[in-house]
Amino acid sequence: MDIHLMQHGACLPKELDPHQPLSPVGREQITKSAQAARILGLRFELIVASPKVRSIQTAEIIAEYTGYPVARIEVTEAAKAMAPAQETINFINEYEGLDSIFIAGHLPSLGNIASGLLTGGKALDINIENGGLMQLARENGHTKLNWYITPAQLAQIAKD
């Protein structure tokens, strides 16, 4: 199974909107990342988002560009910013038979999820930038990092 992790795009400050949706910059970030995902041929059997508006908006944009039905996005507490990594890993384990999933989430949980999957619990300092995309490959209970593409690199792919 390929597991794709993306931190939501830049959001509005709480002072402007307490729900913190994507800012215009964040929407552009994610649109470029989604265009690059399409160019790279990424397809997902499951797209997951946290209940936060910015996460859902990120998942919707990715879904639109990669041909995933927006209405089928799975919104779950397991993808929240402070959700324990093991809770999210348990959620992922429920979908073990799928080939490819995408999670639009938050820091620090995305880094903790990647760390937990890669090391089995040893803490690594993993940072995923807003709109950056990481692919982990999980097979027979073992996970490896396939790649991480920064938002700037994804924007360059989207241009070409």
pLDDT confidence of residue 122: 78
Strands (E), the chain: 2-7, 46-49, 74-75, 100-105, 133-139, 142-149
- For the chain, give every domain's residue range: 2-159
CA 87/CA 76 separation, integer angstroms: 11
Which residues lie across from 59 on neighbouring strands?
none
pLDDT confidence of residue 86: 93
Separation of CA 28 from chain center: 16
Sheet of 100-105: strand order equals 74-75, 46-49, 100-105, 2-7, 133-139, 142-149
CA 19/CA 41 separation, integer angstroms: 32
pLDDT confidence of residue 18: 92
Q: What is the CATH number of domain 2-159?
A: 3.40.50.1240
pLDDT band at 105 (very low <50, low <70, confident <90, very high): very high
Q: Taking Cα atoms as reference points, which of 139, 65, 141, 77 lies closest to residue 103?
A: 77
Separation of CA 31 from chain center: 14
Q: Encode pLDDT of 10-38 as tens digits.
A: 999 999 999 999 999 999 999 999 999 99
Q: Which residues of 27-39 are buried (b: 16+ CB within 10 A; e: fewer)?
A: bebbbbbbbbbbe
Q: Which residue has the tokens 């324990």?
A: 84
Cis peptide before 108 (omega within 30 of 0): yes
Q: Encode pLDDT of 35-87 as tens digits.
A: 999 999 999 999 999 999 999 999 999 999 999 999 999 999 999 988 999 99
